[in-house]
Amino acid sequence: AEVLDACAAPGGKTLRLATRGHSVQAVDLEPHRLSLVEEGSCRVGIADRITTREHDWLTGPLPCGTQFAGVLVDAPCTALGIVRRHPEIRWRRLVSDPPAMAIRQREILKNAAVHVAEGGVLVYSVCSPLSEEGAGVVASLDGFRTRHAWSSAPPVGDEDAFQAFVLERV
């Protein structure tokens, strides 16, 4: 199946999808980060299954209008779920960051959702335990219902906190 990885860099999820046999269009905002995806695909020997494209989701959907069986949005977030591994995050974040980030996440999700084919799925994930960045963002999306939702918040032991949602078009 053809899959769109909307926030692809540095490429771990893209590579995983491609090694599972999917053709992946890897999209990211920054060309130098997309080069990491390209380098990884060459290293693993699956460059023929991955195409990369620079795009800013805050400007709208992809101009091509292509539909995909699956769309993955691992959205930029506050990363508060990985503070255990990256304690410096707690000193970089402001109280205003989660609401501002949620606005961006809603826009990215809305614009990427345009590319979900009829009968396709949309996966949304963040490495944040805040419902404002997870369920709150998903609830703002019209035309989709939640098929599955996962949250590892609060994390147990050495786990990171994350949220993930599998959505289907209604």
Print burial letters for 30-43: b (CB count within 10 Å at least 16), e (below 16): eeebbebbeebbee
Query: Any idea which residue has 């195409």 for tokens?
Result: 51
User: How high does pLDDT run on average in the chain?
Assistant: 95
Domain of residue 21, CATH code: 3.40.50.150
CB 138 within 8 A of CB 145: no
DSSP 8-state code for residue 81 = G
H or E element at residue 120: strand 116-126
149-165, pLDDT tens digit by residue?
Answer: 999 977 778 889 999 99
Three-state DSSP state, 89: helix
39-98, pLDDT tens digit by residue?
Answer: 999 999 999 999 999 999 999 999 999 999 999 999 999 999 999 899 999 899 989 999
7 is catalytic: no
- Cα 48 to Cα 2, 42, 94: the distances in Å are 13, 9, 42
DSSP bridge pairs for 146: 167
Please state the domain count of the chain.
1
Look up the domain containing 91 and give its range.
2-169
